[in-house]
Structures are given as structure tokens and as C-alpha cells.
Chains A and B, each alone.
Chain A
């Protein structure tokens, strides 16, 4: 793992990419890292493409710019592949993680010349089966943790459980569905 891991999220307004980046910052923080989690702001429009970022490091982070050459790119909505050059600037040894039912090789032609590593996860299916609704950001978060190796799976699961118990204190019935989604995602990302 490099000194600072840089992650760029691509999603659509309302899909929770920003929330996912903040959650990732949260869990990485809880494992003792220095973190940054920030969205690129503009007028907020449901469905419009949005970008969010994470920096995760063992050292204090001083830089305050967007991320142009990330180690990981996360695509929360595969329809973005049509309009957004998601792998732009992605380090040659970096990885793009895409929410799609397709396998990495099936989706490669849509990535316009990207020859590096591709990982896919069917976050929609996992979310719908585990939570009954399409909240792709929870399974995407687990996929990012798994692929990036920024923390141990077990540590991640225990941190998330703790975080959900706090976040959903008033509706504990959704906790097990969310935990289920995370665990499935850790296994199913390919």
C-alpha cells in the first residue's frame, strides 16, 4: 500500500456516493488512520453525475486539492461509463471498482482503453436482496475496503457494526440487513 491511498468516487446525485466516501473516512479513522473525505460541490441535482474523494494515510494529510491520479476509482452507477471518463488519471497499477452484474472482462470494452485491473460487484442485487431497496453505497463500501486492503475485513465488519448500531439506534431492524449486505459484498466482489 502506498503512503497515501487516494480514492475517487463517481456516482449520481442521490445515490449516496458522498455518504459512502464519508463512511469510508469514518471507518478508516476508526482504525487509526489520517483521513480526508470530501465531495466536489456544486448545485445539488438528483441524478446528475457527482464526484467524491478520499485520502487515507498513516501520515497527517495537508494537501487540499481534488484527486487527479487516484489509486482507486469507484463507480457507483455503471451507466456513468457512457458519459464520464472514470479511469482518467487512474494510476496504471490502480483499480477501478464498478457496480454491475457483469464480470470484469465483460465490462472492459466499456472502459475505453483501460488495460489495468477491474473489479466488479453487483451492489444493486445485494442491496435489493439484503435491504429490500437499492442502496448501492453500503455494498460498494465493502467492495472498496476488500479491494484496496486499507483495513482488515474483520476489523471493518466490527467497525461498521458499531457504526450502524449508533446510526440506526432508532430502527435496529435495518442493522442486520446492512451487515448482511457488507458481508456478502466482501465475498462477492470479483
Chain B
């Protein structure tokens, strides 16, 4: 029986895994939850002190860190909950409606 881990809605029954079993680990990264978002966090990087208080409160691990400094949001997985914006002591994260002009 199939052990395919990457599937989409065109898959035939012959190719799907029994019972929907997933035969590998660490593959939730392939599931882009970013398109669930209605509000989008925008980081004003120039104001950010890299205190990193936003990082542990993010429920979707969507704030990457590199060399002790936070990077821009992982928009493939950020669901736009806004907890980071509340947690930021310097108010450098603002939430704007997804798809609004300001996004671009």
C-alpha cells in the first residue's frame, strides 16, 4: 500500500495511504496555514529592539530568529492571531486587514 506523504485533492484512492496514515515526521511545514489569515502582522523593523518577547507567544512558531535577531514573519504559517502585536512592548507590530492596499 502507498506510503505517499505529499498528497493533494487530485489523489486517486489507489495512491492514498491506508486510513490517512502519515509515514514520516516533521511534515507539518508543508501545510500552509497562512491562507487562513484575515489580519496580517507588519513589523516595523527599525523600531524593533530584538527583545524576542514576541517569539515564545507565537502559537504557530512563525517568528524565525537568526543570530539572536528576529526575522520577518513566516507568512506561509502565520494565522494572523495578533498575540505578537499585544506582546510587543515597543508597539512595533501592527495588524492590518489581509489584502488591503497597505499590505503592498
In the complex, is A directly touching B at CB under 8 Å?
Answer: no
Q: Which residues of A line the B interface, CB within 8 A?
A: none
Q: Which residues of B line the A interface, CB within 8 A?
A: none
